[in-house]
Amino acid sequence: MGYVTVSAKIKRELWEKLKKYNIPISDVIRRALEEEVRKAEEEELARALDEAGQILSKIPDEEIIKAVRLSRDEG
């Protein structure tokens, strides 16, 4: 897996505090970005599940029961 360099401008005061407390900037940024991506993926999944639920709600219960029974008989 390849890497890319990401840069951000921060206030000098923050940068000095990061250095003072030996905070690993790359690790912090990486974790924060991974968390943001995870949140976005969860939101996307929730939207897809909601859409699937709306579609499935239009199918009569009898059809769902029939499909489940048929799949059990085949398995």
**Closest Cα partner for 30 from 1, 54, 70?**
1
Q: Cβ distance 25 to 18 under 8 Å?
A: yes
pLDDT of the residue at 75? 65
The reported pLDDT for the residue numbered 74 is 83
Question: Is this prediction's pTM over 0.85?
Answer: no
User: Given this model, what pLDDT does residue 8 score?
Assistant: 94
- Indicate if the alpha-carbon torsion angle 42, 45, 51, 52 is positive or negative: negative
In order along its 75 residues, the chain shows pLDDT tens digits of 899 999 999 999 999 999 999 999 999 999 999 999 999 999 999 999 999 999 999 999 999 899 999 999 886
